[in-house]
Structure 1
Amino acid sequence: MEALEAGSIGLERRLKNVPEALDKVFDAIIREHEQVDIGQQGHHRDFVDTLLSLINQPMNTHDEQIYTIDRESIKAIMLDMFAGASDTSSAAIEWSLSELLRHSRVMKHLQEELRSVVGMNRMVEETDLEKLPYLDMVIRESFRLHPIATFLIPHQSMKDIEINGYYIPKGTVILINSWTIG
């Protein structure tokens, strides 16, 4: 028991270093983007370049308070994007695998398709995907049953409208629960 407690103390100490390590990584990415000339031939604008182009620019000009994006805001947005991307990917994989485990017939059919198209001696490559229609169907069905995002992108009604007996006034923000659709 003492060894377990000692191990958790070491883990806690290492976890406390994670934010500092991520800060250094994001700083390095930002510095790299700042050093590259956007107009340089072959350089494609990406998300970080777009954020850097907005640094210290006034935002929300319709409000009384004006907001600006600073370097720390850019790092926070990068962390959100990184965490969101890794979390959603792992959740999608977990749900897909759990559905395959629940439906052995589907898993066997998918295994047969993978064996016949890809074989047993290599990993699936992007060029293989167009030749794997059953895999595509399994993934799409998993996404339908277990959508990653609870709500779709919010919409706003452009005018007063009645839909199926529900009155929706102009300017109402409409949220669609994707979990209930599938």
Structure 2
Amino acid sequence: MVVASTAEAAGEILKTHDAALCNRPKLNLPHVLTYGSKDLVFSSYGEYWRQIKSIAVLHLLSNRRVQSFRRVREDETRVMIDMIRESRGSLVDLSDLSLTLTNNVVCRATLGRTYPEFEFKHLLKRLSFLIGVYSIGNYIPWLSWVDWLNGLQRSAHEVAKEFDYFIEGVIGEHINKKKGLDIDAESDISLDFVDILLDVQSKTATSLTTQSVKALILDMFAGGTDTTPPSIEWAMSELIKHPRMMKKLQQEAREVAQGRSMINEEDLEKMQYLKAVIKETLRLHPPAVLLLPREAIKDVKLMGYDVKAGTQVVVNTWAVGRDPSVWEEANKFRPERFLNSDIDYKGLHFELLPFGGGRRGCPGLQFAVAIIELSLANLVYKFDFQLPDEKRGEELDMSETTGTVVHRKSPLLVMATPRF
């Protein structure tokens, strides 16, 4: 295995040798969870992967499709704001609220309606754990029996069965609802992702089997719900910890909103400090500290080293984002560093890679960022936040969990005071 911990090394992997290092190794537990690696994230590089990526990019996550869910995002943000307002000064769990917000947006966009959060919270936590847990069988195949002995394989099969039962029900609902209707995924932007996938499956000559449809639904639902909430809670944590920066963002929000009840998505393009805050949050707290492993398709020369075909290659986004040779005061939260910078998180600047890059970059980037920007802008516009027990912002505990996606170790509990 090769681990890249600098922007230079990441660029070699994600750009210079992207074509040679774009395969995905077969990982035992994700293979079970994703219908035999039939999803976009874990499928091997080849014609099948190219087909399902094309479907995802063109039909599910295009800019036009993401914009079609604007009202969903604004509605659910308004619900979150109302819930905080109703707390009337009592403790509010911003970690839980960001999860609820994201869960509702992703459910409505992916599945067509909201589902009770309690149905998923524990299941998603188990899924995230199993995708990120160390599986000895991935590295020493003749010791794969250890994953059965310690219960990991059994847990993976149980979680896969529970998700499959749920997704089967969702697909059945959509088929019954659409009977007799002529669905056109190209022209109807009101459709959810399941509608679109079923339409594409019925009208195109692709290898989009029922298993593939289920795997893509799992990608869109689980991927969006698990990775977006931590970015919201880490951004709010950093702003609470740094009151001067909170005030600066609140001032920008006031100037943009001009007294209206909510900030809408049209306003976000004017909020340059908001975008800087989000970039700095993603630099210090990338949703995944390690990008999922790639596998060399052929022998390559990587920064002077011979890397043989079959070698796994991993980019350490956490280390890249805190590299002191690239970032001044690398461990400090300083959004201002992005105000006069063209560095972005879209995979073209290798010093900032929260969503990866190259062929295997996250296609859901626009969808995730739209939720983060809108929710964060309205939270700071509508409320002032204080920590309980008269703690100062700098006393906020910033301890992290371990796992594929890094959350706060303790929930972000605050008291919120309406600003008007």
TM-score, reference length from structure 2: 0.31
User: Which range moved further: 89-98 or 115-124?
Assistant: 115-124
Q: Please, which of 150, 164, 173 is the counterpart of residue 28 of structure 1?
A: 173
Give, in angstroms, the shift of residue 54 of structure 1: 4.9
Residues 1:133 and 2:272 aligned together:
yes
Cα distance in 2, alignment partners of residues 122 and 139 from structure 1: 23
The residue matched to 1:175 in structure 2 has which SS?
strand
Which residue of structure 1 aligns with residue 225 of structure 2?
A: 86
Higher relative contact order (CA 8 A, sep 6+): 2
Cα distance in 2, alignment partners of residues 127 and 180 from structure 1: 34
TM-score, reference length from structure 1: 0.64
Conservation of the 8 A alpha-carbon contact between 2:234 and 2:281: yes
Which residue of structure 2 aligns with residue 144 of structure 1?
A: 283
Conservation of the 8 A alpha-carbon contact between 1:118 and 1:124: yes
User: Does the C-alpha gap of structure 1 residues 142 and 36 become closer, same or farther in structure 2, counting only changes over 3 Å?
Assistant: farther
**Deviation string for 1:98-149 (max 9, x for gaps)?**
1111111111110111111113432111110111100011011111111113
Which residue of structure 2 aligns with residue 112 of structure 1?
A: 251
Larger Rg belongs to: 1
Conservation of the 8 A alpha-carbon contact between 2:184 and 2:199: no
Which residue of structure 1 aligns with residue 197 of structure 2?
A: 50
Residues 1:170 and 2:299 aligned together:
no
Cα distance in 1, alignment partners of residues 258 and 218 from structure 2: 38
CA RMSD across the alignment: 3.9
User: Does the C-alpha gap of structure 1 residues 126 and 40 become closer, same or farther in structure 2, counting only changes over 3 Å?
Assistant: closer
**Deviation string for 1:132-178 (max 9, x for gaps)?**
10001101111111111333354444543333453211343422122
Conservation of the 8 A alpha-carbon contact between 1:27 and 1:75: no
Q: Please, which of 197, 210, 214 is the counterpart of residue 70 of structure 1?
A: 210
User: Which range moved further: 82-91 or 31-40?
Assistant: 31-40
User: Does the C-alpha gap of structure 1 residues 138 and 53 become closer, same or farther in structure 2, counting only changes over 3 Å?
Assistant: same
Cα distance in 1, alignment partners of residues 316 and 236 from structure 2: 24
User: Does the C-alpha gap of structure 1 residues 39 and 115 become closer, same or farther in structure 2, counting only changes over 3 Å?
Assistant: closer
Q: Given residue 42 of structure 1, which amino acid in structure 2 is its aligned partner?
A: S
The residue matched to 2:315 in structure 1 has which SS?
coil
Cα distance in 1, alignment partners of residues 310 and 304 from structure 2: 18
Conservation of the 8 A alpha-carbon contact between 1:100 and 1:106: yes
Q: What pairs with 1:12-27 in structure 2 (closer than 5 Å)?
A: 24-27=169-172
User: Which range moved further: 100-109 or 29-38?
Assistant: 29-38
Residues 1:100 and 2:244 aligned together:
no
Cα distance in 2, alignment partners of residues 150 and 162 from structure 1: 25
> Structure 2: where are the runs of 5+ without partners?
1-117, 124-161, 322-420
**Deviation string for 1:23-74 (max 9, x for gaps)?**
644432344466554558724697433366558x996xxxxxxxx9437x74
Q: Please, which of 263, 272, 279 is the counterpart of residue 124 of structure 1?
A: 263
Which residue of structure 1 aligns with residue 47 of structure 2?
A: none
User: Does the C-alpha gap of structure 1 residues 149 and 133 become closer, same or farther in structure 2, counting only changes over 3 Å?
Assistant: same
Paired residues, number = 158
Cα distance in 2, alignment partners of residues 116 and 58 from structure 1: 50
Give, in angstroms, the shift of residue 85 of structure 1: 1.2
User: Which range moved further: 19-28 or 154-163?
Assistant: 19-28
User: Which range moved further: 115-124 or 29-38?
Assistant: 29-38
Conservation of the 8 A alpha-carbon contact between 1:149 and 1:178: yes
